[in-house]
Amino acid sequence: MRKAIICGYYGQGNAGDEALLLAILSRLNNNITPIILSGNPQKTNQDYGVISYSRFQIIKEILKLTKKDLFIWGGGSLIQDITSVKSAIYYLTLMALAQLKGVKTIAYAQGIGPIKTPLIQWLTKIVLKRCDRISVRDQKSAKLLDKWGIKCLIAPDPVWALPSKITKKIELLPAPRIAVNLRSHSSLTITKIETISQVLIKIKEKINANIILIPFQISKDLEVCEKIAQQLKTNYQILTLENAQELKGLFSQIDMLIGMRLHSLIMAGSENCKCFALSYDPKVSNLMREINIKGYDLEKLPTNIDEIVQECLNTYNNPNPISPHQIQKLAEDALKHHQLIDSVIT
């Protein structure tokens, strides 16, 4: 039986990345055995019923691959050196190793960059030029690859097409419901957390809303949620859902999201929930531009609380800029990433 090693930021408790993994697994046929690179192999095995290995164990598995097997790199922003140069080198090395084995390699639903280090740029060009198939999820990544003379497919993030589920495990506070997703980051300072808390208090008062705080990665989001909750005092709840499809389905019951994470905005947008973005990363800014999401660059968040409140309420009160037709088109186009995998398998 053919094997497919799937390499990404999996098993780290990040709901967005787990949604990407689920999207890939749902498309692999029964004749392929998936093997997952995971930060928590035991949990990945438990959640999806698949074989998974740690960062160092996976290298041994790559060395066992034959020419009939696959190596899927992604999805997500694996090729960037802002977070960590070491991490970029690690992921590039895995792909290069698979290519040396003569394995079919796919860069799947990638967000390329930012890449500041000349060495990483050079390695990225070499590795991507040797890929059998490449797909990216935003125009900026596609333009960069075009500049390098590398062909790729561009399509919306696969999570647009991930089926959602409504869960009965939770009891939501009454509508109107404003969801909030924040993550720890250098641009989200204590002062900005205080500002956002005051904004939420005023929104709560003006429209009699309940605030639903949703961490997407417990290790990076929960502490911020708890700091906000201390300020809100009443009319809030913190919700944690591990199942990506249930998390996506939750947004069908939310009136508006104020979100930092890319996949919080994609999940909410795909469920016809209005979105207001607080961008901490170019990938979020790219999405804001591409589908007309209002919001702020977090680094430039105004200090005037009333100004932010008014901008949020404008989004809340005005029609959703993303129409149901656009949402359907985004979901349909997102399936092109899967068709790329199919074209290599067949």
Helix (H, G, I), strand (E, B) or coil at 267: helix
User: Do the domains at 2-154 and 177-329 have one common CATH topology?
Assistant: yes
Residue range 193-206, pLDDT digits in tens: 999 999 999 999 99
Model confidence pLDDT, tens digit, residues 157-204: 999 999 999 987 778 899 999 999 999 999 999 999 999 999 999 999
Residue 81: which pLDDT band, with cuts at 50, 70 and 90?
Answer: confident
Q: For residue 72, which of 141, 116, 149, 134 has the smallest C-alpha distance?
A: 134
Q: pTM of the prediction?
A: 0.95
Confidence category of residue 216, pLDDT binned at 50, 70, 90:
very high
The two structure tokens encoding residue 203 = 């929104």
2-154 has which CATH code?
A: 3.40.50.2000
Q: What's the topology of domain 177-329? A: Rossmann fold (3.40.50)
CA atoms of 27 and 342, how far apart (whole Å): 8
Mean model confidence pLDDT for the chain = 95
Cα 176 from Cα 111, distance rounded (Å): 34
* Residue boundaries of the structural domains of the chain: 2-154, 177-329
Task: Write down the pLDDT at residue 259.
Answer: 99
